[in-house]
């Protein structure tokens, strides 16, 4: 009779172990941007209240990018009205954020639209130079089929190839 109790107890213990091993712990909530600082609350509130405020959106996206949250930057830009999204500075920030997210094709398309807009209107030389350099680098990433997040060494090589400059000194 005692053998039956040991067998039953062992079966219950094995079943309990299987249940415990197969259960998952609940995922912790993801709080994107929680470490970016309390000063962003005012910018987020302004952009939420006044979605057409280009300066507030530019400041918010720059803060997100500086804080390492390119996904939040893209999200904020995507919620803005189209005429705001098409602003050269905002579109350039979107290209930068898409680049940081590892989406070179989308970033290149956006960056090319920025350069086309700058060809039609006066843009700062600084913005044009950054946009041209980023477009060359993104073009090289796309041409070589490099995934920037998975292949950092090849990404760096593509950057060096894209921005190399040759200077010839004449007599």
Can you tell me which residue has the tokens 């039956």? 4
In tens, the pLDDT along 64-91 reads 999 889 999 999 999 999 999 999 999 9
pLDDT at 135 over 60: yes
* CATH code where residue 146 lies: 1.25.40.10
Q: Tens digits of per-residue pLDDT, 26-52? A: 554 444 556 677 778 889 999 999 999
Q: Is residue 13 part of a domain?
A: no
Task: State if pTM tops 0.85.
Answer: no
Helix (H, G, I), strand (E, B) or coil at 31: coil
| The predicted structure's pLDDT at residue 22 | 60
> pLDDT band at 116, cuts 50/70/90?
very high
Domain total for the chain?
1
| Residue 16, in any domain of the structure | no
The whole-number pLDDT of residue 129 equals 93
Residue 21 lies in a domain: no
Nearest to 143 by CA among 169, 109, 105: 105
Identify whether 2 is part of a domain.
no
pLDDT at residue 162, as a whole number: 87
Domain membership of residue 137 (yes or no) is: yes
Residue 63 lies in a domain: yes
Residue 110 inside a domain? The answer is yes
Taking CA atoms, 96 is separated from 17, 61, 91, 105, 114, in Å, by: 49, 10, 9, 12, 11
Q: Write out the residue range of the structural domain in which residue 60 sits.
A: 36-161
């Amino acid at each position: 009779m005692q053998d039956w109790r040991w067998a039953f107890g062992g079966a219950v213990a094995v079943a309990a172990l299987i249940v415990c091993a197969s259960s998952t712990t609940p995922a912790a909530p993801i709080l994107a941007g929680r470490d970016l600082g309390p000063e962003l609350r005012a910018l987020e509130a302004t952009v939420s209240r006044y979605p057409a405020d280009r300066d507030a959106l530019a400041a918010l996206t720059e803060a997100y990018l500086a804080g390492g949250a390119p996904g939040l930057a893209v999200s904020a830009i995507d919620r803005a009205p189209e005429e705001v999204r098409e602003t050269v500075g905002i579109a350039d920030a979107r290209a930068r954020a898409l680049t940081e997210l590892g989406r070179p094709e989308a970033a290149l398309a956006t960056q090319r639209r920025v350069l086309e807009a700058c060809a039609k209107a006066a843009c700062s030389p600084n913005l044009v130079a950054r946009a041209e350099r980023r477009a060359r680098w993104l073009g090289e990433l796309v041409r070589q089929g490099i995934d920037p997040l998975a292949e950092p060494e090849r990404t760096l090589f593509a950057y060096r190839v894209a921005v190399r400059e040759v200077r010839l000194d004449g007599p």
